[in-house]
Structure 1
């Protein structure tokens, strides 16, 4: 007889449930959320054909750990699982969720998702840390600007050398304001130093990667975008067609159809928001700063002429995602002609 398991995972504990082909529970247990402990708990039950759990913060570590232990684990989309689990049990408990996931594993009524490799997650963590630090830098600069404008001082652009000099000059001789300015400026300097260190790491990693070197042959694609795209895709073979990248990154129009209603709206904005933003910036650079002859640019400018520049940037970002995936899949370089 075949057996199936469901894992309801939290930070500290995991609820394990094993059912047979008919849906009868044969094993239930609560264990710690580590691959070794979960494998030990599953070893107390008959060998399972499929083990299912939801996406979440613990999913990458547990998935790769359990796969390394030889267990047939499948990670499923949490939003889909939520709708199914809600219909299976009246009360939401860890025990009921584990049972519901086991029944999903038994029936096959789920959509498996790709779990990125741990190196890809490490790259994404570096990029996300940089984004947070840049946000903190902007927040500190806006705070400095806001304090100065109270005293009638308008500061120049924050990235210019005169920004700090004028900020310190505005606070001279004013008790309280001077200390506040110095503290904010010191914090800004520390954040800038951290951002510079991360930028150096990103540049080093991109230069050492042949994949990133291939992607950077596209005009406007730099170290950050190339590294982020390689980490977002992870395995090019998991996409059957390159044009699926548009939907994966949320760069295709949202559609709602019901009876006589058939509505096509703005882009779906699903998937990796940071990657979508980077591709939009590359499209903007290609359309406004790149001066070379490029058919891709001419195609996007034709869209802008009959529609808007914003739609042209989005269309070009989607086309760039498709091209970049094809380059990764086939190991080719970008051709401007």
Structure 2
């Protein structure tokens, strides 16, 4: 058998498919393995490039394969799909991954460390609690509406008036509303605890401290960028980083005519959301400042409108963040 130089692995919960190719691109390895057999099989291979789709558990497998002397690379699943030649199954997926990882123009996902994933887990769980809190408030409003009590959308008013409105309701309904209010208080406490932990993490993270000097980048945004990106030098430029976050326009150009549409919305939706939310604060406070950034922000809003100005600010902040991280510099305020 020829020496394997490139391997594609289709990750799964129990059964993994491997496809290996030699230096000429010929298939020399096709295997189906159980989860507990993967490390032994990969350890027996010579040092090679191992491609995987960036899904659940991919970063952990990449870290393990790296300790064996291999070069793991992760790719978005949508970039792998065009290389699948036949119907979708595990073997064809592994072959497509093996083909895609060898393409010179392929864009890869940075491999996260254990610390990065642990930090991101705080963000994910906190976001889950926030979504659950929003759902609980909506459930309260919907339940009270069934009894003719219509509360405004503002959460402060719902918290304040729900208990008072429940006093006139039957006992069973009152009990349900009291349980929802108690659950809401528990969620508030958990979210506050996560906020305190993230603030403590930000105080001890020097790159996050540098990023927080950017207007519109706070504790959450700075920590999320540090945990998501890792080594910013994996990106060639700030524009590539902004494009990776989905903050650049989608192109529909042909025949020498350039047509730009809405932003692509690729990449990490959570990080993109944080940057856009931070852009809102920059835009809303721009009239109070006379610096170069504020003048530019007001000019963009005048020319292109409110929402495009938000995206432009978020994209600019992403590029500034890339420059600070990749060059290990402090923000120079003009």
Q: TM-score, normalised by structure 2?
A: 0.88
Other-structure match for 2:213: 217
Other-structure match for 2:295: 298
Evaluate the alpha carbon distance shift between residue 197 and residue 100 of structure 1 in structure 2; reply closer, same or farther with a 3 A threshold: same
List structure 1 runs of 4+ shifted beyond 6 angstroms. 106-109
CA deviation map 1:241-286 (0-9, x unaligned): 1232221111111111244775311111111111111111212111
Moved more, 110-119 or 51-60: 110-119
Residue 144 (structure 1) shift: 1.3
Evaluate the alpha carbon distance shift between residue 198 and residue 73 of structure 1 in structure 2; reply closer, same or farther with a 3 A threshold: same
- Report the number of matched residues: 330
Give the match's secondary structure for 2:207: helix
CA deviation map 1:206-245 (0-9, x unaligned): 1111111111222342211111121222111111112322
Other-structure match for 2:164: 169
Residue 68 (structure 1) shift: 1.4
Other-structure match for 1:141: 137
Whole-Å Cα distance in 1 between the matches of residues 239 and 98 of structure 2?
34
Whole-Å Cα distance in 1 between the matches of residues 34 and 111 of structure 2?
21
Other-structure match for 1:33: 35
Other-structure match for 1:320: 317
Whole-Å Cα distance in 1 between the matches of residues 77 and 244 of structure 2?
16
Gaps of 5+ in 2: none
Q: Does 1:124 align with 2:120?
A: yes
CA-based RMSD: 2.5
Other-structure match for 2:245: 249
Gaps of 5+ in 1: none
Q: TM-score, normalised by structure 1?
A: 0.87
Give the match's secondary structure for 1:298: helix
Residue 27 (structure 1) shift: 3.9
Q: 1:92 aligns with which of 88, 91, 99?
A: 88
Evaluate the alpha carbon distance shift between residue 191 and residue 10 of structure 1 in structure 2; reply closer, same or farther with a 3 A threshold: same
Other-structure match for 1:42: 42
Evaluate the alpha carbon distance shift between residue 278 and residue 21 of structure 1 in structure 2; reply closer, same or farther with a 3 A threshold: closer
Residue 104 (structure 1) shift: 4.9
Q: Does 1:74 align with 2:73?
A: yes
Residue 308 (structure 1) shift: 0.8
Whole-Å Cα distance in 2 between the matches of residues 111 and 163 of structure 1?
47
